[in-house]
Amino acid sequence: MEITELTLSNFRRFASQRFDFIPGLNLVWGPNESGKSTVYESLCCALFGRERGGSYESWAGGSPSVGLAYTSDGQAYRVVRQLTAGTSRFGVTNGDDLSDITTSKDEIAERITAHLGLSSRSVFENTVSVRQTNLSAPAGAELESVGAEIQRVLTGTAHLSADQARKDLEGKRDAIKGRARPTKPREYDRISDRLTKLASEVADARASRDQLRNLEEEESTLQARVDQDSARLTVVEGLLEKYKRWAELKQKNDQLNAQHEASFSTLREIRQTEEDLALVQKELEEHTDLVGKDEEIQEHLAKIAWRREELQSQLADVGFPDKVEHAAIGKGKWFANAVALVMLIIIAVAGGKGWVNPILLGAIAVVVLVALVWRFWRFGARNSGGRKMADLADSFYEDLVELDKEEQSILSYVKCPDAGRAVAKIKNYQTLAGRAREFEASLKGLLAGRKREDMEAQEAELARELSGIRRELDDDFRDYSPTTEESESWRSEVAALQNSVPSAENRLSQVLGSLSSERSHAKDMAALEGELEFLHRRRAELEFTYKAYEEAISAVATVTDAVSREYLPELSERATNYLKQLTSGRYSAVTVNPGWDVSADCREKTAVRSALLSQGTLDQLYLALRLGCGELLSAGKRLPVVLDDPFPAFDRVRLDNALELLKQAARSNQVILMTHDPHILDWAKSLQAAGQDRCAIHELASPQL
Amino acid sequence: MAIARFLHTADLHLSRPFGFLPPQLAEERRRDQRIAVTRIAELAIEKNADIVLIAGDLFDNADPDPTDLEVVTKELRRLVESGKRVYAIPGNHDPNAGATCWKSIAACGVHVFLDTEWQTEELADLGIRVCGAAFHKGRSERRAFDGFTLPDGAPCLLMAHASYELYEGQMEKYHPFSAAELEATGASYVALGHYHRYNQLAGSVTACYAGTPEGISFDSPETGDRFVVLGEVGDDGVVSIEQVKVNRRVMKSAEIDCTSFESQTSVFDAVRLLCEPNALMDVRLIGSPNAEIVGALDDIADRFKESCLYMNMDLTGLSAQTEIPVDDRTIRGRFCKYMLSQIDETDDPEKKRLLRRALDLGITAFTEG
């Protein structure tokens, strides 16, 4: 790149200024405050844009702008930057025309750095561009050694070296995790600790949740079992109750039935007996005359009979055994005579009238006559006994008559025609009375001291009860006929259920208690899982970032090592050439070793460490290394060298050496040198006087006094 | 004239872990979900809904947290006690298989369609039928309305946790159904669950996804306002519906391309424009701003703590500009080239992502210094 023109408008002290630069040496000379550093900064501003913190406002007012024209590989370019508006315009120039225009800052930067051959402002300002300051203390550098500074230059950053960048990365990496300060763990470690605890909490919560589910399941199962068993218990208890009732009813029925039957039978017997008794008593009512006299009468009659037998015996003894009979016949003689007379009259009438066959009448008359004959014969015999006997017999007969009268009196009392009937009546009475007594005794036995009404009431009660039982049996137990085995099965089932249901209820109660406790302690899984997920993701992010840092650190180290191996020998060689020239050969070699230690060999001592060098020599060493770095980094491109009063610590000899070096450099590179040093102005003028056409001088006006 | 009013909600996803949020905020969101249940119950009472339909995924899993179950049972019991007929079906997140929560829900007086075959409940007093079938976990590919026959007579409200084939959503294989199958149901209204954004389907059968009442992620179906459906069944059987906003917070998701931003201030301004005080924000920054901007964005989320309820700032889509000159021979330049070559060489996307991140970190380290 060769800068051809720099145009300033309202740029600090310059209201409007144009500098035309030639390809060789350009000297911008002026005293203090003439604007040399402004030219330097405007040039950097034109190339790389506004510097952070840079201040470019015009002293006279107006919007500052800077324009820069340059050529690269035979092509002319121009960039114009309006610094207040922050806009830039870049394009290819052809005369006054501007083509291939871009206003993209990124694109402009890309194209300018490509033409320049250096990647950034910092690289430019750390190599071939030197601000008005001590060479050994370049802008922003806070490095301990020249080597570190050179590494920074080669790193291409404004403020730090690759090693510092690596350390910065390592610091940030280590801020993620690591237990360098156990009292204050890193985020990653805090998360890991929390995750460890959380894993335990989650496991506990899951176990608790599982326990809760198990308990719920058990509760559900138990509840179902309790419900089912309770229902079954109710059913089986019902069955058993029914059976018991049935058995009880049956037993009671049998008992009552037996009782009732016995009661009923007794009552029936009583009733029968009473009926019988009533009948007997009714019959006895006909014998009221005999009540209490039957035996007397019986005895009396027996005595009469006995006396009669005795009298008849005595009659027999006196020869009139049949006196009684005779008397009886005597009594009947008149009756027979009357009958025979009546019959004879009837026969006579009948015969006279002819009503009956005469033969038959004759026969009847014969019979009657026979009968009359037999009667006379019979009574004729009696009259043959003695008179005494007859009187005795008459006495007897009188006794007999008395007896008959007595007997007749009794018979009259008992209303019987004869003694036989009277005796029979008495016997009948006595039989009835005996039966009545038997019935009464039987009745007494049946009642057994009870009242008949009570017995009837009891029987009625039994009948009622029995009826109720039978009705219940009919109503509730129709066709009900469980077997004993069934009832035993129910009984054992009830016993088992009565045992198992309370046991299950008890367990259910325990489970409900545990459930309540577990529920009150149950943690919300969502919160734990959410935190777990969040922390895992955050830790993964940190892990990722940690690994990314490690990759970056490794890459920085790798690249730094590569650069060290590739660049440092060549850098040492180039710096050696420059330092040798600058120091008139006093320093014969510059070495930058792979550890980035810089040393120089001088005539008295080899490998003098940079820290031991004088300020002037150190500046010269820096200049040599910077130019070497610029050549290395530009990869053969011809770089403009821009220096703003770079040699304040140089003595005259080494200043001349440096000017000679610049003169030589100007043969291939553009050199723009700002200085207030009259010696340098004189040197440049001498060059011009010697016909050096690659030297231009821009003298700046002195500031107003 | 309306013969019945109903409220339709679905996909409440109670007991959601919200693992993408910090634990405290996740708990806050779970509380929002519980509040949503209460708001929905109050809305049903306020609007005199006769019927409440919960079309699946009431819970995020079959074993919800006791706190959530307690709130749900309390509110559902309140609805039932105030005379509402509440119907629910299990969804793919809370299927009946192995779930104990439905027992508790049913105990509140809610009719839960636990059978995977279609069941019909007749509301003779309203002259309405409600049909529902539980999500079939073992046969999720079954067509949604297989086995459904429209009962004769009264208007029918249908409940299904199913995937409309024309709807762009996830897990569309869960009980899929087509527009034609929906038409064939002949239902007066189909209360749908599964997809999380409110969406009334086109066609002669009125059908609607109610969506989640509170957003449960930053995925696009979850962002923005959330709704329940209020409907009226006319005496002609025609259903008219309206959507009613119920969300307490809003989930917002945005992507901002930072490539053209000149400074971090521009990025902050772009983010600030999106912020709402009641929003949970998920902002993904993408593009390739210069390394200086990238380096200044690490703590960008902290800047917006007061501007919204929560800000998740995803910077993984951001990469510092690495358009280094071809011949940049500095260590920084060579580092970039080295990393880019490493990125090119690996086929592992995760490794690529790691190396890309390492490159950004390296560039930031070189720049920040």
CB atoms within 10 A of CB A693: 9
Q: At a CB cut-off of 8 Å and minimum separation 6, what does A469 contact?
A: A249, A252, A253, A256
Classify burial at B285, counting beta carbons within 10 Å of its beta carbon; exposed 0-12, middle 13-18, buried 19 or more: buried
Any idea which residue has 């979850």 for tokens? B222
DSSP string, A148-204: HHHHHHHHT-SS--HHHHHHHHHHHHHHHS--SSTTS--HHHHHHHHHHHHHHHHHH
**Which residue type is seen at A337?**
N
- At A3, the pLDDT band (50, 70, 90 cuts) reads very high
- At A691, the pLDDT band (50, 70, 90 cuts) reads confident
Over residues A95-104, the pLDDT tens digits come to: 778 888 888 8
Q: Which domain holds residue B269?
A: 250-368
Which of B202, B219, B245 is a domain's end point? B245
CB atoms within 10 A of CB B341: 10
Contact criterion met (CB below 8 Å) for A637 and A2 = no
Q: A580 is written with which tokens?
A: 């040798």
Instruction: Say if A448 is an interface residue toward chain B (CB within 8 Å).
Output: no
Residues of B in contact with A112 (CB under 8 A): none
| Assembly ipTM | 0.80
Q: Given a cut of 60, is residue A626 above it in pLDDT?
A: yes
**H helix or E strand, kind and range, residue A487:** helix A484-521
Q: Residues A334, A336, A340, A346: is their CA dihedral positive or negative? A: positive
- Of B60, B66, B328, nearest to A519 by CB-CB distance is B66
Q: Given a cut of 80, is residue A143 above it in pLDDT?
A: no
From B21, which residue of chain A is nearest by alpha-carbon distance?
A534
Cα–Cα distance between B47 and B229 in angstroms, integer? 11
Q: B236 is written with which tokens?
A: 């002609």
* pLDDT score of A524: 79
Pairing of strands A75-82, A87-94: antiparallel
Cα–Cα distance between B309 and A161 in angstroms, integer? 42
Over residues A76-126, the pLDDT tens digits come to: 999 999 988 888 999 998 877 888 888 888 788 888 988 888 878 888 888
Is A286 domain-assigned? no
Q: A280 is written with which tokens?
A: 């007997």
- CA angle, corner A371, sides to A369 and A376, nearest 5? 95
Pairing of strands A671-675, A641-644: parallel
From A519, which residue of chain B is nearest by alpha-carbon distance?
B66
Cα–Cα distance between A585 and A577 in angstroms, integer? 9
Which strands, in side-by-side order, build the sheet including B189-193?
Answer: B119-123, B128-132, B156-161, B189-193, B206-209, B199-201
Is A376 domain-assigned? yes
The CA R_g of chain B, rounded to the nearest whole Å, is 25
The number of distinct structural domains making up chain B is: 2
* pLDDT score of A216: 85
Q: At a CB cut-off of 8 Å and minimum separation 6, what does A297 contact?
A: A290, A410, A413, A414, A422, A426
Q: Given a cut of 80, is residue B1 above it in pLDDT?
A: no
Residues of B in contact with A534 (CB under 8 A): 19-23, 26
Cα–Cα distance between B212 and B220 in angstroms, integer? 12
Same domain, yes or no, for B166 and B268?
no
Rounded to a whole number of angstroms, the distance from the CA of B285 to the nearest CA of chain A is 16
Per-residue pLDDT, averaged over A368-382, amounts to: 68
Which of B193, B217, B245 is a domain's end point? B245
Is A352 domain-assigned? yes
Same domain, yes or no, for B34 and B148?
yes
Q: Which domain holds residue A379?
A: 333-384
Q: Do A544 and B354 touch (CB under 8 A)?
A: yes
- CA angle, corner A593, sides to A589 and A597, nearest 5? 90
Q: At a CB cut-off of 8 Å and minimum separation 6, what does A62 contact?
A: A9, A10, A15
Classify burial at A701, counting beta carbons within 10 Å of its beta carbon; exposed 0-12, middle 13-18, buried 19 or more: exposed
- At A478, the pLDDT band (50, 70, 90 cuts) reads confident
Contact criterion met (CB below 8 Å) for A146 and A598 = yes
Q: Do A525 and B63 touch (CB under 8 A)?
A: yes
Over residues A488-527, the pLDDT tens digits come to: 999 999 999 999 999 999 999 999 999 888 888 777 788 8
CATH no. for residue B234? Answer: 3.60.21.10
Which of B184, B214, B245 is a domain's end point? B245
Residues of A in contact with B331 (CB under 8 A): 151, 154-156, 162, 556, 559-560, 563
Pairing of strands A598-602, A587-592: antiparallel
Q: Given a cut of 60, is residue A141 above it in pLDDT?
A: no
**H helix or E strand, kind and range, residue A226:** helix A187-285
Same domain, yes or no, for B273 and B132?
no
Over residues B254-311, the pLDDT tens digits come to: 999 887 787 888 888 889 888 988 999 999 998 878 777 877 787 788 888 888 999 9
Report the Cα B231 to chain-centroid distance in Å. Answer: 22
**Average pLDDT score over chain A:** 85
Q: Closest by alpha carbon to A361, among A341, A347, A343, A345?
A: A347
Classify burial at A374, counting beta carbons within 10 Å of its beta carbon; exposed 0-12, middle 13-18, buried 19 or more: exposed
DSSP string, A16-72: EEEEE--SSEEEEE--TTSSHHHHHHHHHHHHH-PPTT-----SS-S--EEEEEEEE
Contact criterion met (CB below 8 Å) for B100 and A213 = yes
Q: What is the reported pTM? A: 0.68
CB atoms within 10 A of CB B290: 20
Same domain, yes or no, for B154 and B255?
no
The number of distinct structural domains making up chain A is: 1
Same domain, yes or no, for B238 and B330?
no
Same domain, yes or no, for B257 and B275?
yes
Rounded to a whole number of angstroms, the distance from the CA of B354 to the nearest CA of chain A is 6
Residues of B in contact with A119 (CB under 8 A): 324-325, 328-330, 332-333
Q: Residues A312, A317, A318, A321: is their CA dihedral positive or negative? A: positive
Which strands, in side-by-side order, build the sheet including A129-130?
Answer: A129-130, A641-644, A671-675, A25-29, A695-699
**Which residue type is seen at B88?**
A
Q: A353 is written with which tokens?
A: 């009238």
Per-residue pLDDT, averaged over A332-342, amounts to: 71
Same domain, yes or no, for B318 and B351?
yes
Per-residue pLDDT, averaged over B86-103, amounts to: 87
**Which residue type is seen at B141?**
E
**H helix or E strand, kind and range, residue B242:** strand B239-245
Of the ranges A280-294, A612-626, B200-214, which is most confident?
B200-214
